[in-house]
Structure 1
Amino acid sequence: MADEEVGRRQGEGDGGSPRQFYIAGASRFPPVPQSASADLVWESGGERIAYRATAGHIDVRSDGGSLMGRMFHLSYVAAGAGDALARPVTFCYNGGPGSASVPINVGGIGPRRVATAGISHLAQPAVMEDNPATLLRASDLVFLDALGTGYSELAEGFDPTQAWGVEGDADSFARAIEAWLTENGRWGSPVYLFGESYGTVRNAVLMRLLAERFIPVTGAVMMSSVFDWVTKMPGSDLSYLGLLPTYAATARYFGRAGRGSDEEAWFDDAMAFAERAYAPALLAGDRLPAAERASMARRLSELIGLSPELIERCRLRVDLDTFRRSLLADEGRVLGRFDTRFTSYAPLALQGTEVPFAGSDASSDAVEPAWNAAFRRHLAEIGYRGAPRYPLSSFATIGVGWDRSHIVPGAGGMRADAPNVAYDLAVALRRNPTARVAVLGGRYDAATPFWNAVHDVSRLFLPDALRERVTFRLYSCGHMAYVDEPTLELLGRDLAAFYGRAEAAGRPAATARG
C-alpha cells in the first residue's frame, strides 16, 4: 500500500543522494523475542475453522549460511485439515517499498479484520471481527514484513543496499519462503503469492526467481498493480493515460461529470477514450493544432469535471495533485490518493506545498491508525510481545533510496533504472504454464491506475494459452480493495474461484456448518 512517489519527494533536498539518506537512517532493532502461538477459531455464516496463529521471525540467510536478517511473519494455519500438503499456503505482503503487512492482514484477507465504515474515518476503539471473506477459507496464510519494515530486522553489519532494491528484496523473500516451507514441513503444498501495490512488483520478480530455484508457484494475486516503472516517472504520458479513467470515475462519483450514467459503463468509456482519442493528442505534443487542443480540453472537461481553461493551461496533462486539489475546491475539500472517494479539508495555504500535500491522504488517515491499534491487540491475543513501536511505513529509511534498477530477464544482462517487471511475469508464465495470475484493481485507485496494468500485460504478447492464465477483475473501490466491504464480499468470491474452490465445497476438515 504505500506511495513510492511520496517517498521520492520526501527524500529530495536532504543534502545528499537518496541512497545516502536511507543508509544513514538505517536502524538496528533489539534482539527478537521468542515466537508465540495461539489456537483460535474463525466463525462466520455457519462456517467454523480452527486454526493456529503464530507470530515470530524467520532467519534469512545467504547461500553460505551468513545471517542477512530476520523477517517477521504472522501465519495462520488451519487445524485438522487432513493432508496438510494438499492445502495451499499463500505468502502475503503489502508494498511501499517500506510498508509492513498489517493492512492486507487485519484490513483485508486475514481471519480477523477491522470493520470499516464506508468512506468515513474510523473512531476508536475500532471493532475487530472474524472476517467473512478471509482467504483462510481457501489457503493457509503467511503475512511477511520486508526486511527493515514492521518487526523485521537487518542483521548487524549487513549492507541495507543488498535488501532495499528490486533485486535484493525479491531475493530475501525467496529465502524467507524457502525457510518457512522447510521449518513447517510444507514442501509440496501449492504455493501462492499475494501482493499489493509494490508487492506486485515483488510478485512478478519472485515468480521468476522461485522458478529458477525450482519452487513452482501455483498462482499469484496482484492487487493494485504496478509493473512498468516508466508510468511513475515525471512527465510520462502513460501516467496521464492511466489516470484519465480514474479521474472520470471520481468526477462522476461526486456529481461533477457523467450525471445519471452507469458507473461501469462510464469507466469503460473513459478507458476507450484514453486509448483512441486522448493518446493521439498526447503523442502530438505541441504539434497538436490549437483548435484541436481546445476541442480535446472541452471533451476532457466533460469527462473529469475540471474546467476546459484549467485543462488547457496544463497542456491536456492534469497531474494528480492538481486534480486532487481542484475537483472539490469550491467545497474546501481535497481528494484522497489511494481512494479518491475519501476527502479531507483542504490544507492552509502555507501548508499546501507539494511535499506535505503529496504525503497526505485521507484514505490512509481514515483506517491506518485503527489497523495499527487492532494489530497490536491481536499480537497480544496471540501472546507475542514485540517492541513498543511497530512502524507501518518506513519511507524515510527505505522507500526514499530504494534501488529501482533491475536486470531485464532475457535482455543480455541489461539493467533498467525504470524496470518493467511484467517481463519477469512473462518469463515465469512461460516456464510454468500451469501457474495462474489474478490482476485486481479499483476504479478509484489513483496510485496504481487499472488502465496501466491492463496495458502492461497486453504488451507481453502472450500466446493464447498463457493469456488465458491471466484474469482481470475491476471493483468499485480504491487501492485497498478490502476497505470497501461490498467489494470485500466480491473479492472473497473471486478469490475462492481463483483458488479453484466452489463456494460450498473444499473446506478443510476442521470446517463444519453450524
Structure 2
Amino acid sequence: MIMKKFIQFTLLMTCLTSFAFADNMRKLEVDTKNQTKHTTKINGKKISYTATTGTQPVWDDEGHPTASLFYTYYQRSDVKDDSSRPLLISFNGGPGSASVWMHVAYTGPRTLNVDDEGYPLQPYGVKTNPYSVLDVADIVFVNPVNTGYSRVLPDKDGKMPSKEQQKKMFFGVNADIKYLADWITTFVSRHDRWRSPKYLIGESYGTTRVSGLALELQSRQWMYVNGVILVSPTDIGIKREGPVKAANRLPYFAAAAWYHKALNSNLQSKSLLELLPEVEAFTINQYLPALAKGAFISELEKQTIADQVAQYSGLSKQEVLRSNLDISNAYFWKELLRDREQTIGRLDSRYLGIDKKAVGARPDYNAELTSWLHSFTPAINYYLREELNYKTDIKYNMFGNVHPWDRSKNNTGENLRLAMASNPYLNVMIQSGYFDGATNYFDAKYTMWQLDPSGKMKDRLSFKGYESGHMMYLRHEDLKTSNNDIRAFMKNTLPSKSKAAKY
C-alpha cells in the first residue's frame, strides 16, 4: 500500500514537473540575444554577415517591462566603420501581421522557395536572395506586440493587463507609434547605431506605422531619419472618400483586366505602361468629375462615361450602369472572369480562385493569401529554428490578436509631411504593384500628390510601380528591380559630408 502510494506520488510529481517545464518553455524570454554567422552572394559578390535573433523589452514609465518584441538583425561583418552605413528598420502591417513578408521575401538575405511569378513550391523553405540590400545597408525586422514571437508581459503584480489596458498601451495608431519609437531608440543605443543614416520601411499598414514614426522619432526621441519607404501604402490618414475613392479604382481595374486579357483588342495590344497613363488621365479629367455630379449628371454624359469605364475595366456597360458608375472592388473580383467561372485575388489580382457558385457579388476567399500562407508559414518557422538557431515553443503568429484596433486620430500623413518639412534630409519613396486591389497603386499616387499640397517638397517624393501585386517582390523580376530601387533611393538620399541639413 505504501509502495503504491509512493508510485502514485512520484507519477504525480513527474507530471507536475513536466507541465511546469512545458509552461516555462511557452513563456517568452524577456531579453535575449542569439547570433549566427553566414555568407551569401548579392549581385554576384560574396558578403559575410551576422544574424542576431532575440527579444528586447518595452518598458513603462516606472521601468517595468510591459512587453517584449522579437527581432532579427542582419549586420554585414566586414564593415569596420558603420557611421555612414544605413540602418534599415523594417515593419509589416495588418495591423497584427508579423514582420515575415518582407523578411523572407524582399530585402533580407534569404527568400522564399517560390517560382519566378511568386507561386509556392515544395519543399517549403528558403533560398539565397541574390538582390538583398544587405550589401549596402544593415537591416532589423521588428515584430510588434502579439506578432511573430512578440508578446504582452504580466504586470509587476504578475497579472496580465486587461484587453482594454492592452489596447491603450499597444493596439492603436498612436499607441503603436509611441511604444515602437521607444523600442527603436533602445535598439539603436544597444547596437551603437546613433551615427548611422536611418531608413524606415513599412508595408501596407506598416506604412501608417512608419509615417507616424518619422515624426515621433524626431520630436520625442530626437532621432532624425534620412528616408521613409512606403510599400503598398494605406491612406496614412489622408482621406480618399466618395467620388475620389470610387474613381481611383479604375486604373487598377484596367491593369487587372489587361493582365487577364479581358480588354478589347485595341487596349489589349498596348503594353501596360502605355495603357495606364491613358486610364489615369481619363480618371482624373472625366471619371472623377462625372462621379461628383451624382444623380444630376446628364444622361448623355452618363452613357459616355459608362461606355469608357466598361472598356477600361473589362466589365460590360450594363454592369457599370447598374452600379451607378461606382464599381466596388469585391464585385470586380467576382465579375471580371465570371464567364470563365473564376475569381481574381484581392492583394494580387494575378491569382485565380474557384468559388462554389459562379453567381454572387464577391469571391468566397482570397486566392492570393491562401497561396502565400502555403509558403511563408513553413518557411519562417523552419528558417528561424534551423538556420538562425532560435528555439522556442512559443507559436509564431503570422497574424496576432491586436483587435479591436484604435484607428482614431490618424494624422500619420500630416506627421510625415511635418517631419519632412522640419528635416531637409528626409525623402520618401512609394512602391506599389499595379495588380494590387487592396491598396491600389493609383490611391498611392493620390496620397503622394496630397501629402504636400504646397508642392515645395515634391522633389523629395517619388513613386515606383511594378507589374505584380501587394507584395511586388514575390515576382522574381520585381524582386530585383524593387531592391535596386531601394539601393538607388538610399544612395541618392545620403548627403555628402559637406551638405548641411538646411534650406
Name the structure 1 match of 2:194: 187
The Cα shift of 1:347 comes to: 3.3
Q: Distance in 2 between matches of 1:74 and 1:443?
A: 30
**Residue-pair matches, total:** 453
> Which residue identity does 2:480 align to in structure 1?
E
Name the structure 1 match of 2:350: 341
The Cα shift of 1:377 comes to: 1.6
Q: Distance in 2 between matches of 1:430 and 1:163?
A: 28
Q: Distance in 2 between matches of 1:232 and 1:97?
A: 20
1:338/1:223 Cα in 2 relative to 1: closer, same or farther (>3 Å)? same
Q: Distance in 2 between matches of 1:308 and 1:390?
A: 47
1:353/1:270 Cα in 2 relative to 1: closer, same or farther (>3 Å)? closer
CA contact (8 A) 2:97 2:399 kept: yes
Name the structure 1 match of 2:332: 323
Cα deviation 1:431-454 (Å, max 9, x = unaligned): 111111111111111111122222
Question: How is 1:60-71 mapped onto 2 (pairs within 5 angstroms)?
Answer: 60-71=58-69
The Cα shift of 1:294 comes to: 2.1
Question: How is 1:334-483 mapped onto 2 (pairs within 5 angstroms)?
Answer: 334-348=343-357, 357=364, 360-380=365-385, 381-387=387-393, 389-394=395-400, 397-398=401-402, 400-406=403-409, 419-461=410-452, 466-483=457-474
Q: CA RMSD in A?
A: 2.1
Which of 273, 281, 289 matches 2:290? Answer: 281
1:353/1:444 Cα in 2 relative to 1: closer, same or farther (>3 Å)? closer
Cα deviation 1:220-259 (Å, max 9, x = unaligned): 11111113557677xx332222211000011111111121
1:55/1:232 Cα in 2 relative to 1: closer, same or farther (>3 Å)? farther
Identity %: 28
CA contact (8 A) 1:96 1:197 kept: yes
Q: Distance in 1 between matches of 2:379 and 2:349?
A: 25
* More contact order relative to length (CA 8 Å, sep ≥ 6): 1
Cα deviation 1:274-304 (Å, max 9, x = unaligned): 1111101110111112332222111111101
Question: How is 1:70-469 mapped onto 2 (pairs within 5 angstroms)?
Answer: 70-119=68-117, 121-126=119-124, 128-156=126-154, 157-158=160-161, 159-161=165-167, 162-212=169-219, 213-229=221-237, 236-257=242-263, 258-348=267-357, 357=364, 360-380=365-385, 381-387=387-393, 389-394=395-400, 397-398=401-402, 400-406=403-409, 419-461=410-452, 466-469=457-460
The Cα shift of 1:86 comes to: 2.3
> Which residue identity does 2:141 align to in structure 1?
F
CA contact (8 A) 1:201 1:225 kept: yes
CA contact (8 A) 1:120 1:366 kept: no
Q: Distance in 1 between matches of 2:238 and 2:225?
A: 27
CA contact (8 A) 1:441 1:481 kept: yes
The Cα shift of 1:80 comes to: 2.1
Name the structure 1 match of 2:17: none
Q: Distance in 1 between matches of 2:238 and 2:463?
A: 22
Cα deviation 1:87-106 (Å, max 9, x = unaligned): 11111011010100111110
The farther-off stretch of 462-471 and 161-170 is 462-471
The Cα shift of 1:169 comes to: 0.7
CA contact (8 A) 1:60 1:179 kept: no
CA contact (8 A) 1:195 1:221 kept: yes
CA contact (8 A) 2:320 2:326 kept: yes
The Cα shift of 1:267 comes to: 1.1
Which of 461, 476, 485 matches 1:494? Answer: 485
> Which residue identity does 2:222 align to in structure 1?
F
Name the structure 1 match of 2:475: 484
Q: What's the secondary structure of 1:54's corresponding residue?
A: strand
Q: What's the secondary structure of 1:459's corresponding residue?
A: helix
Q: What's the secondary structure of 1:225's corresponding residue?
A: coil
Q: What's the secondary structure of 2:465's corresponding residue?
A: strand
TM-score (norm 1): 0.84
Q: Distance in 2 between matches of 1:316 and 1:476?
A: 26
Cα deviation 1:128-158 (Å, max 9, x = unaligned): 2111111211111100111111111112244
Give the greater-gyration-radius structure (CA): 2
CA contact (8 A) 1:101 1:144 kept: yes
The Cα shift of 1:265 comes to: 1.6
Cα deviation 1:305-356 (Å, max 9, x = unaligned): 1011111111111101100000111111100011111111123479x686x8
Listed as ranges, the gaps of 5+ residues in structure 1 are 1-28, 407-418, 503-514
Name the structure 2 match of 1:4: none
